[in-house]
């Protein structure tokens, strides 16, 4: 996992009718939504991760690039 303090906004994403900045993260083998949230909980929420990326479950595909909404 990349250093969590290195996340810099690269764009805006609409969550709950509000534009919020987001950074990106490339999913590593074994990452889950909950696991990412544990590492990034000072920056985002599980709900924001799901909403920004259209996620339904906890599993993530390695190599996929996720938007990390910076809502916290």
How do residues 36-52 score in pLDDT, each as one tens digit?
A: 999 999 999 999 999 99
pTM of the model: 0.85
- Is the confidence at residue 2, as pLDDT, over 80? no
φ/ψ (deg, to 5) at 5: -80, 0
How do residues 25-34 score in pLDDT, each as one tens digit?
A: 999 999 999 9
Confidence of residue 63 (pLDDT cuts 50, 70, 90): very high
Tokens at 24, concatenated: 């990106």
Task: Tell me the pLDDT of the chain averaged across its residues.
Answer: 91
Nearest Cα neighbor of 20 from 28, 11, 29 is 11
């Amino acid at each position: 996992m990349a250093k969590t303090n290195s996340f810099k906004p690269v764009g805006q994403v609409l969550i709950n009718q509000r534009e919020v900045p987001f950074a990106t993260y490339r999913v590593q083998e074994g990452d889950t939504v909950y696991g990412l949230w544990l590492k990034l909980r000072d920056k985002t929420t599980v709900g924001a991760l799901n909403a920004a990326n259209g996620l339904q479950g906890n599993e993530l595909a390695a190599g996929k690039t996720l938007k990390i909404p910076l809502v916290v």
